[in-house]
Amino acid sequence: MRVQVAIVGGGPSGLLLGQLLHNAGIKTVVLERKTREYVLTRIRAGVLERGLVDMLEEAGAADRLHAESFRHTGIMLSSNNTYFEVTFDKYVDQPMTIYGQTELTRDLYDARERAGGATLFNVDKLTLNDLNTRSPSIDCKVSGEPLHIDCDYIAGCDGFHGVCRQYIPVEKRKEYLKDYPFGWLGILSETAPVHHELIYSNSDRGFALCSMRNQNLSRYYVQCDINDSVDNWTDNAFWNELKRRLPERFASTIETGTSIEKSIAPLRSFVCEPMQWGNLYLCGDAAHIVPPTGAKGLNTAASDVRYLYAALTQRYTDNDECKLQNYSQTALERVWKVERFSWWMTSMLHRFPDQSEFDIKIQQAEIAFLQQSEAAQASLAINYVGLPY
């Protein structure tokens, strides 16, 4: 098999990049370790920056999003029993779009299928070859059958646990990692959202988040011990804990119900530098991870895709590799700003096991300053809705 760009990973990064390149007439193949059905079982945040929505439109995968999504123009922040709204459109003309990542991934798979893009599932034993030559290649097994793929470039979109990042020599690769000493216990319930905007809550008992997928599907989280287990949490125990972390106005009105999904996720900040090696280019979670507090995982994968797509189309259109050579530097400049914002939101809103009383007072002062300062709220809004590409 020969393609121009071989894409490892059929998650949001790989699919969005593949669709944009395919529409630009650049021959691609997407190699996915799992099945499409398995990929679509993943429950992830669905808070989309406008830049991502614009790219989904460009990829021809935004029709259902426009029919089913809804706009958010602010968030609610609460600290114990006080709460206030940060209204984005006072500071930035850029709403956020609420649309489940699972649906976005489904739409990208459907768009790729309609366009006739090649996607191979059950890909195993994948190895990358000759990355520092003009003819890199991939060897793998597809449902057990060997396959060799010759290509010009390889996009490593295989997520945090993928293999591509490991092909950057360890002596050339710098990895930055911060693991947080807690997790998020999340549930999905077929109940009406407690509020029309997201509620980020800092309480003495820990962080809580009220989110949603649509008017009849809510997504809630409570901070939990890093070693906790979903088996320790009945639905009632979850709802009671969530209510204890929300202001009375919301605790008394929230609609509870049976969880249709319940899981615990760890929180980490991670960046791999560089994000390229020879003709391998890392994109999305393969290169960086943020704690979910700022809803930036998918959106930062999207900005990588924007930069890599622009670089590859410049290469194939103008035979100019300038943007490709600068891809890692360009992407990392925005990645680190998003890492900072996600770290800041996490530090401000969670209870840390080793926190002193002084630390808690500092958190409370941070939130009080946000409540009182338009400049502080403008800074949050600018980061939350999405930094420019």
DSSP-assigned letters across all residues of 88-144? GGGT-S--EEE--HHHHHHHHHHHHHHHT-EEE-SEEEEEEE-TTSSS-EEEEEETT
Q: Are 256 and 290 in contact (CB under 8 A)?
A: no
Of the residues 27, 44, 64, 262, which one makes contact with ligand APR according to CB under 6 A: 44
Would you give the DSSP letter of residue 191? S
Give the residue with the Cβ less far from ligand APR, 12 or 294: 12
34 binds ligand APR, rule: CB under 6 A: yes
DSSP-assigned letters across all residues of 345-369? HHHHHS--TT--HHHHHHHHHHHHH
Q: Which does 13 bind (CB under 5 to 8 A by kind): ligand PHB, ligand APR, none?
A: ligand APR
Using CB atoms, what's the residue nearest to ligand PHB? 211
Name the 3-class secondary structure at 257: coil
Segment contacting ligand APR by CB under 6 A, of 77-85, 159-167, 216-224, 268-276: 159-167
Q: Which does 34 bind (CB under 5 to 8 A by kind): ligand APR, ligand PHB, none?
A: ligand APR
Instruction: Round to whole Å and give the CA distance between 262 and 9.
Output: 25
Q: Which does 295 bind (CB under 5 to 8 A by kind): ligand APR, ligand PHB, none?
A: ligand PHB
Task: Write the binding mask 277 to 316 for ligand PHB: x where contact by CB under 6 A, - elsewhere.
Answer: ---------------xxxx---------------------
User: Nearest approach, Cβ of 344 to ligand PHB (angstroms)?
Assistant: 13
Catalytic residues: 72, 200, 292, 296, 384
Cβ atoms within 10 Å of 32's Cβ, excluding its own: 24
Name the 3-class secondary structure at 218: strand
Partnered with residue 41 across adjacent β-strands are none
List residues binding ligand PHB (CB under 6 A): 45-47, 198, 209, 211, 219, 292-295
List interacting residues with ligand APR (CB under 6 A).
Answer: 8-14, 31-34, 39, 44, 101, 123, 126, 157-159, 162-163, 284-285, 297-298, 301
